[in-house]
Amino acid sequence: MKISDNERLKNIVKLWSALRSQMEERSITKESLLTDEFLQWAVTTPLYNIGEQVYGLSQEFKNSNPDIPWTVVSGLRHRLVHNYEGVNWSIIVEIIFDEMDNFVQSVSSLIV
């Protein structure tokens, strides 16, 4: 069964909300995420799933919302899954702490 773009958007918001909640509950900081391999593993799965939801959005939908960095988020998933030349956790941490909230807010505004 094909998942609608709207359902994918809802999944992105749900996954990010769950990850943010767990990070807050466990007091995960930039510093701890940079150095703790277990925490890196813990955040990787939700990020994979968010990237997979973005990747699965229709091209028409993504094209109609060009101001949202779809390629960056789906590319993050590919980096994490395939470990292209190693994962640079400094970049991942910056994305998680500095960019994902804005991305998810943009996604939320598109849900109908």
User: Regarding predicted confidence, which is higher, 81 or 106?
Assistant: 106
| Residue 90 covered by a domain | yes
Q: Is 112 part of a structural domain of the chain?
A: no
Question: What's the total number of domains in the chain?
Answer: 1
Residue 100 lies in a domain: yes
Higher pLDDT among residues 79 and 18, named by residue: 18
The answer to whether residue 40 is domain-embedded is yes
Residue 103's pLDDT is what?
Answer: 97
Q: What is the pLDDT of residues 42-92, one digit of tens each?
A: 999 999 999 999 999 999 999 999 999 999 999 888 888 887 567 889 989
Residue 30 domain-assigned (yes or no): yes
Quick check: 67 and 37 in contact, CB under 8 A? no
Residue 101 located in a structural domain: yes
**Residue 109 confidence (pLDDT) above 70:** yes
pLDDT confidence of residue 17: 98
Percent of the chain with pLDDT over 90: 83
Domain membership of residue 75 (yes or no) is yes
Please write down the HEC assignment for all residues of 42-109. HHHHHHHHHHHHHHHCCHHHHHHCCCCCHHHHHHHHHHHHHCCCCCCHHHHHHHHHHHHHHHHHHHHC
pTM, two decimals, is 0.91
Question: What pLDDT score was predicted for residue 80?
Answer: 84
Range of the domain at 39: 5-107
Give a yes or no: residue 94 inside a domain: yes
> How many whole angstroms separate alpha carbon 67 and alpha carbon 87?
26
